[in-house]
Structure formats: structure tokens, C-alpha cells
Amino acid sequence: MKLVILDRDGVINFDSDNFIKSPDEWKPIPGSLEAIARLNQAGFRVVVATNQSGIGRGLFDMAMLNSIHDKLYRSLAQVGGRIDALFYCPHSADLNCQCRKPRAGMFEEIGRRFNTALTAVPSIGDALRDLQASATVGAQPILVLTGKGEKTQKTGGLPKGTLIFPDLAAAAKQVIQSA
């Protein structure tokens, strides 16, 4: 099975320091939805793994998160794409849970749910914590320079073997070519 794991905010859609709290605030990065559709067309199962601590902080509730994701799904369908599964951590950082990236709990659950080892599975994120969670399970960390990506690259400390691309469209093109 061909699988790819994506972070949401900063990879698929524009990020915000104030959190994405409503469907109106969710805006796709140009080319990202089409990149997901190309991954689908190339036979990849696309999974999203996203920290959503805004829930734990009381900034929005599950109904609002579902509304945001409904907009994501509808927008993808319009360009022929889909998300095969979406995993999220609703906890704030102070809860010290196992699912919040940089911990690998969400990734381990993805492996169980899809009954597959995540070794070398492309995992695309814009923050160091995305890349660290990927590396922990042996996935291929890929940094995109959208969202927090440029800052992440400058900060350094990237896991060994991290690949870097300007955006999801460029990363997806390489993932498809390498499959």
C-alpha cells in the first residue's frame, strides 16, 4: 500500500498564530488541494495527522472542527481529491499526552489502523514536531517551506535525512516520482 501522511495547518492550508477556529478561516495554500488529488490519482492513500490544541484550550469545539474538516473535504472533492483518514490530537501541550506531536501516538495509530509499518512512508510537515514524530516511527520526514517551514529550516535540528521542498505541490511531485 502506498501511503503518505500530511500535517494540516501550514501544509494544506494557511496557518494562523491565532488558530484556525472556523471554516471561514480555513483557506487552502495554492496548489495544495491539487497536489493531494495527484497523490490520490497516483494510488496513494492520504492521511492527515494534525495537532488541534484549540479544542483543549476551549477556542473551538468538536462541531466546529468537523465543520472545518467538512470544508476541507468539499474543497478537495471539487478538484478530484480525498483524504482517506484524518487523525487529530485535541489536547493542549500541558496535558503531556502521547498523541500530540512531536510524540508519535497519532502515527502509531495510523500504522495500526492501516495495518502497515510506517518505515519510509513520506510524512510532510512544516514544523519540527511534525518531522520528529515522523522520524520516531521511521517515516521519511519531509519539510515544506510554507506555514512555519522557513522558520523551522532556519532553526535547524532537523531529523537526519529530512527532505525539503518549497510546498506540498513540489513535495507531492517528488513522492509520486519516487514511488
Amino acid 17: pLDDT:
92
The catalytic residue positions are: 7, 9
The string of pLDDT tens digits covering residues 146-164 is 999 999 999 999 999 999 9
Tell me the C-alpha distance between 121 and 178, whole Å. Answer: 11
Spatial contact of 39 and 46, defined as CB atoms under 8 Å apart: yes
Helix (H) or strand (E) holding 172: helix 168-178
Rounded to the nearest integer, the mean pLDDT of the chain is 97
Residues forming a β-bridge with 123: 5, 141
What average pLDDT does range 23-46 have in this prediction? 98
- Local confidence band at 25 (pLDDT 50, 70, 90 cut-offs): very high
pLDDT at 178: 95
pLDDT tens digits, one per residue of 63-90:
999 999 999 999 999 999 999 999 999 9
Question: Model pTM?
Answer: 0.97
Per-residue confidence (pLDDT) for residue 172, from 0 to 100 = 98
Quick one: how far is CA 163 from the chain centroid? 15
Q: Which residue has the higher pLDDT, 93 or 83?
A: 83
Residue type, 81: G
* Domains in the chain: ranges and CATH: 2-178 (3.40.50.1000)
Query: What mean pLDDT is predicted for residues 18-41?
Result: 97
Within 10 Å of residue 56's Cβ, how many Cβ atoms?
A: 17
DSSP structure class, residue 103: S
The runs of H, that is alpha helices, within 1-141 are: 32-41, 53-56, 62-78, 105-113, 128-136
Interval 91-115 mean pLDDT:
95
Amino acid at 65: L
Q: Residue 37: which residues within 8 A CB-CB, separation 6 or more?
A: 76, 79, 80, 81
Could you give the CA distance from residue 76 to residue 74 in angstroms, rounded to a whole number? Answer: 5
Residues 6 or more apart in contact with residue 58 via CB below 8 angstroms: none
